Structures are given as C-alpha cells and as structure tokens.
C-alpha cells in the first residue's frame, strides 16, 4: 500500500516538477500513537531528516474525525517544536485500497502535502476571504462528493474548484493544482525548506 501511495503522490505532483523518493519506512506498534494520542512523543521518536524531508505518519485514528493534518512551512530551527511537528499525519485507511469509502485512492496525502508546501484550502475564508491564490475561484465552503457545476459564490467569477486537491471532494474527483498554486509551492519551498 505504501508503494501505491508514493506512486499517487508522484503522479499528482509530476505536472508541477515535484517528485518524492522513499528513503526509509519505519513500522512502529504503539497503541497510543496509533490513536493519534501523543503527536509530540510520536514525532520526537520517529522524525527523520532535515526540514526539507517530508515525514508521513500513518495512524488508525486522527483527531476530530479528520483524514489527516499537516503543518505549514515556517522558520523552524532544528530541534524546535515546529521542526519536530513538521510532516503529515494521515488516517491509514485513506491510502490506495484503504477502507475509507470515497477517500481511499491516496488523495488525502496529496491534499495534506499541499499544506506542507504552504497551500490553504480553496474554501479558505469563504466568498470574502481567499486562499491567496488568484486562479482558484472563491468558494463559500468545502465540497463533498463531486458536485459538478457547484457555484457557492454566485456573485463572483468561476465555479467552485471541486477538482482541486485543496478542496474536500471525493478522491475520484481530484485532478489538479493550479499554476498559481504551483508558484506558491515553489515560493514556500525556496523560502522555508530548500536550504534546510
């Protein structure tokens, strides 16, 4: 399953010139960590690499019924809380072939890694806010399913970006990051991670 997850990540990010390589897999049995019980203890024990190395943690349960979470890049000194927390915690049943219906094609990782690169949700701030990306239309709230033609901000240009990885659509609906999202990912990479 993890090799399939890596293949999904590489396929989704390839149009943007981004590729991932698996360096190491560590399998740990810890009932507390598996239930997302002590993030800092888990990451302090398991985190590998520098700030430019993506660490993924697959657990059986994620708090607040989420499918995952990931931290935005920031100025993080080695050993700091921000450095230790860096990475993505993912509900293990969302990997390709997992048991989470409609969210088991591996796109949760793509979505969360988008956050790791500095992307907000497309529905950030609703119709009056924004995700700091000019080429994603405004969106009042997250999508569920694959609601073709949805326009939650009818007074603003464009239909909701339901095919964007940074929405909450079904995995089968996800198709893209936009050119401006790519620009932001590279900008955040260069600012926070490239020289780590």
Which residues form the catalytic set? 112
Give the pairing of strands 68-70 and 56-59: unpaired
d(CA 62, CA 181): 26
* SS3 (DSSP) at 27: coil
Long-range CB pairs of 168-171, under 8 A, 24+ apart, other chains included: 168/121, 168/123, 168/142, 168/143, 168/144, 169/143, 169/144, 169/145, 170/102, 170/103, 170/144, 170/145, 170/146, 171/94, 171/102, 171/103, 171/104, 171/105, 171/106, 171/107, 171/108
d(CA 66, CA 76): 25
């Amino acid at each position: 399953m993890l090799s399939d997850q890596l293949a999904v990540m590489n396929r989704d990010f390839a149009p943007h010139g981004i590729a991932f390589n698996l360096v190491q897999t560590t399998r740990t049995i810890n009932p507390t960590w598996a239930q997302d019980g002590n993030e800092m203890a888990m990451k302090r024990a398991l985190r590998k690499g520098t700030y430019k190395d993506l660490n993924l943690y697959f657990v059986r349960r994620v708090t607040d019924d989420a499918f995952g979470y990931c931290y935005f890049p920031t100025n993080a000194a080695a050993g700091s809380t921000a450095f230790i927390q860096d990475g993505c915690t993912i509900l293990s049943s969302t990997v390709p072939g997992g048991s989470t219906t409609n969210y088991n094609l591996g796109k949760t990782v793509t979505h969360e890694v988008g956050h790791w690169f500095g992307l907000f949700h497309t529905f950030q701030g609703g119709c009056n806010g924004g995700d700091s990306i000019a080429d994603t239309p405004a969106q009042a709230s997250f999508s569920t399913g694959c609601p073709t033609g949805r326009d939650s901000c009818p007074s603003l240009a464009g239909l909701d970006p339901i095919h964007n990885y940074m929405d909450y659509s079904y995995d089968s609906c996800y198709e893209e990051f936009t050119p401006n999202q790519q620009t932001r990912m590279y900008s955040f990479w260069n600012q926070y991670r490239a020289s780590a």
